[in-house]
Structure 1
């Protein structure tokens, strides 16, 4: 590892400006700490080995399904296949999402074979370590996608926003209500500079969100305080945080930023965790 890389790794930790729990493995208490707001982020360094991240990236980036989000075509972030966020209750898009879900999961898994896909590692650990287990989210009685690969184009940022399942739906289903929605990201490749994850304290409701929003999708940075957390992920890191809190990704320079991600739904200690993309 070069001196520049060592400094980059050291600075990625020293840039933390609020509580971030760093641990070697995920446990029940880690999830509870996150949903209770004890920590802004949970970080597990070397969750997936560097050499394997590099090898899998070469395969995953060849998937033909990479394209920008339908609801954010002006943002330079590409993903593998349609996500639930993009359907927004549209019947045709929902049908497409569900028809492609299992196929996309299989395509990603096949690209990682003979190794365990990073998101499958996370799914197994959540199922084994959460007392009530974990399962795929099931909103309409159909299999949902989990574990998209995202590629952040060079020099593009992901503006401040929230991810809230209830806002991605038109119907009001009580069984879908979550106490907390976590974002889980496993980082497979990083740009040499930039690509920091920023997390704010704010977790605005829909009415407050619209007041702070500049386009109905992203928030106006000029109406926000400074981020509570700014952290540069390292290759192989797993980072989880409350996706209802405003968050953003800074532009990447000298390379693309690649991660595999999903959401994790929390409904209480006596309920199983759920996951989807």
Structure 2
């Protein structure tokens, strides 16, 4: 397996290799210039709405994640879901404003994907989901190994059953001096395996001592776009010195139909 496929633009053949497991990640180096990336990252780090995830308080973000509409037992919090949907457009525009005077890297990504595959925002019934979260990993934080599946994370949403693949796109804006690498395992665990590996005190992550070392450890750089298969086990190493800032969204692949995006 080739760990990382470097490309100029995301094309169908690149996605096919990623979904087939022939590569662990597809990267566009310098998707935005490093200088622009750092400026946007600094703006997001100062944003008035920067706050902790409702159910993962060790992480902070601008925007909201659909994951936050779940309570600790995995059930949907209807009030949180309503707030997530009601604020979706406003928060997406807030992130665009934070990127000014530059174009939002997310809009740049979505335009590229729309031309190649067709793209629309995912919906819950007739309401568009939020897409494009800004995430800040302060020094000392990490993201435990986990995977993402819409069919599991939103079991009442028919869209989860329509997807042929689920990808995660990350545009890096600032990287720590030490640590913060993207970690990818060549594992697509079952729900039973994930339950047996669950880290004590974590609502989402795996105990690192129960899984092998990651197969890929990728140092990230400001301005790079990296796309991975979200159903593969992945995580973020601890930020040992410095802060990691990025923009991210999920991409739902629907063969023969437009893709969908959400966060």
Fold match by TM threshold 0.5: yes
Cα distance change on mapping 1:155 and 1:175 into 2, 3 Å: closer
* CA offset digits 1:111-153 (Å, max 9, x no partner): 22232100100000000012xx111111321111111110001
Q: Could you tell me which residue of structure 1 aligns to residue 83 of structure 2?
A: 96
Distance 1:83 1:177 in 2: 20
C-alpha separation in 1, matches of 2:258 and 2:247: 22
2:241 corresponds to which of 234, 254, 258:
254
1:31 to 8, 15, 29: 15
Contact 1:177/1:267, CA 8 A, preserved across alignment: yes
Provide the secondary structure at the position in 2 that maps to 1:19: strand
Partner of 2:258: 272
Determine which of 69, 78, 87 is the counterpart of 1:87: 69
Whole-Å Cα distance in 2 between the matches of residues 161 and 64 of structure 1?
A: 29
Question: TM-score, normalised to structure 1's length?
Answer: 0.87
C-alpha displacement of 1:68 = 1.9
Q: From the superposition, tell whether residues 175 and 257 of structure 1 become closer, same or farther in structure 2 (CA, over 3 Å).
A: closer
Query: Do the aligned residues in 2 keep the contact of 1:194 with 1:253 (CA within 8 Å)?
Result: yes
Q: Which moved more, 1:208-217 or 1:168-177?
A: 168-177
Match of 2:73 in 1: none
**Which TM-score applies when normalising by structure 2?**
0.92
Equivalent position to 1:68, from 52, 61, 81: 52
Q: Distance in 1 between matches of 2:101 and 2:32?
A: 15
Instruction: Answer yes or no: is the 8 Å Cα contact 2:63–2:95 preserved in 1.
Output: no
- 1:186–1:260 CA contact under 8 A, matched in 2: yes
Structure 2 residue aligned with 1:208: 193
What residue is the counterpart of 1:134 in the other structure?
119
Question: Paired residue for 1:49, among 33, 39, 45?
Answer: 33
- Which whole-Å deviations, capped at 9, do the CAs of 1:24-58 have from their partners, x for residues lacking one? 22222112221122211001110110111122223
2-side partners of 1:46 and 1:174: how far apart? 32
Question: Residue 88 of structure 2: SS of its match in structure 1?
Answer: helix
> Partner residue of 2:204?
217
CA offsets per residue over residues 226-258 of structure 1, 9 Å max, x none? 211101111111001011111110111332110
Shift of 1:167: 2.1
In structure 2, C-alpha distance between the alignment counterparts of 1:100 and 1:186, rounded to whole Å: 23
Report the equivalent of 1:9. Answer: none
CA distance in 2, matches of 1:101, 1:233: 28
The equivalent of 1:145 in structure 2 is 130
Contact 1:139 1:176 in 2 (8 A): no
Structure 1 runs not aligned, ≥5 long: 1-16
Q: Which among 149, 153, 158 is matched to residue 164 of structure 1?
A: 149
Q: How many residues align?
A: 256
The structure 1 residue matched to 2:232, chosen from 227, 245, 250, is 245
Residue 96 (structure 1) shift: 0.5
Q: Determine the structure 2 residue equivalent to 1:10.
A: none
C-alpha change, 1:18 and 1:213, in structure 2 (3 Å) is farther
